[in-house]
Amino acid sequence: MFNYCLFNNQIQTIATASIGLSDLGLLRGYGIFDFLPVVNGQPIFVDDYIQRFTSSASQMNLEVGYSNDEIKTMIAKVISSNEMESGYMRLLLTGGYSDNGFSPSGQTNIMILPVALVNYPSTYYSDGVKLLSTEYIREFPQIKSINYVKVLLEQKRLKQEGAQDVLFTLNGKISESSRSNFFIINADGELQTSETGVLAGITRKKVLEIASKIMPVSVKDITLDDLGQAKEAFLTSTTKGVMPVAQVDDLQIGIDSGFPICKELQTSFLKLVQSYQEALI
Ligand SMILES: Cc1ncc(COP(=O)(O)O)c(C=O)c1O
């Protein structure tokens, strides 16, 4: 359990920290966030995450109000206040208080919150997960906005169908999952991930770097036809790492093979995280 967060650079107790009712994040869904791992008390790939956070902010016309180094110092402060060993850090930036409930004042609110480790069932890694396709594309795919309404609306259907997440598709093109990027090993044995309509995932970036040293890689939009021919499919995200996808709707993918390439990339990704963390000590 973590007890402390930062609100506009002031340490506050999570249980009592609160935001005013005229914040545009609450009233208009105007806000962005980012979410990074903490391992052995160290933020991992922190420069990549802060760079994406500031890029989301500027694309949304939101002032961060702090330099990248100041944000790093703030993250370190939340880690030390909570004596945090492992978990995640949520960086949240909202539109700030508005007199008329619409016009931004220019003064944003920034929050840095510790989050407990997410532990997925080990069967998700050994047997793969099931996704349901849904016709949708995020409004501003390159921005990590706070709007996750589409997948929240799908929760009941996911539960009924025994699926773990959705796969966003539009006119036969696959973009990403609700909180993960999507990859396939295509019919030619190439690793492929969609180019457009996706968030620039940090795990995606690291997996592409690892994979490009050991196999052919192509960043181009995946179609549902490509998926039908795929040898393997998997998700990447900060909480999941590299997680095999065994089924999309009624289509089963790579189950007989046991997802060897996905597992190799998962092992290499975990090694990269470990070596990054060891280099900090
Ligand atoms: C829409 C979306 N796509 C992809 C990702 C994966 O990005 P990352 O690897 O940086 O966690 C996320 C992460 O939450 C996401 O929200």
Q: Counting Cβ atoms within 10 Å, is residue 241 exposed (0-12), middle (13-18) or buried (19+)? A: buried
R_g (Cα) of the chain, nearest Å = 19
Which amino acid, residue 154? E
Q: 100 alpha carbon to ligand 1 midpoint, in Å?
A: 33
- Tell the residue nearest (CA) to atom 12 of ligand 1: 179
The preferred substitution site among 183, 238, 245 for testing ligand 1, maximizing ligand atoms within 8 Å of CB, is: 238
70 C-alpha vs ligand 1 centroid, how far in Å? 24
Among the four given CATH numbers 3.40.1130.10, 3.40.1350.10, 3.30.470.10, 3.40.50.300, the one describing domain 4-115: 3.30.470.10
pTM of the entire predicted model? 0.98
Per-residue pLDDT of the chain (281 residues; tens, 9 = 90+): 899 999 999 999 999 999 999 999 999 999 999 999 999 999 999 999 999 999 999 999 999 999 999 999 999 999 999 999 999 999 999 999 999 999 999 999 999 999 999 999 999 999 999 999 999 999 999 999 999 999 999 999 999 999 999 999 999 999 999 999 999 999 999 999 999 999 999 999 999 999 999 999 999 999 999 999 999 999 999 999 999 999 999 999 999 999 999 999 999 999 999 999 999 87
pLDDT for the residue 79: 98
Domain boundaries in the chain?
4-115, 122-277
Domain 122-277: homologous superfamily in CATH: D-amino Acid Aminotransferase, subunit A, domain 2 (3.20.10.10)
Strand, helix or coil for residue 16: coil
pLDDT at 158: 98
Q: What is the pLDDT of residue 126?
A: 96
Secondary structure (DSSP) of 167-235:
EEEETTEEEEESSSEEEEE-TTS-EEE--SSS---HHHHHHHHHHHTTS-EEESPEEHHHHHH-SEEEE
239 CA closest ligand 1 atom index: 11
The residue whose CA has the least distance to atom 5 of ligand 1 is 180
What's the pLDDT score for residue 27?
Answer: 98
Angle at 146 between CA 143 and CA 152, to 5 degrees: 120
Strands 165-170 vs 173-177: parallel, antiparallel or unpaired: antiparallel
Q: What is the pLDDT of residue 280?
A: 86
Ligand 1 centroid to residue 108 C-alpha, Å: 23
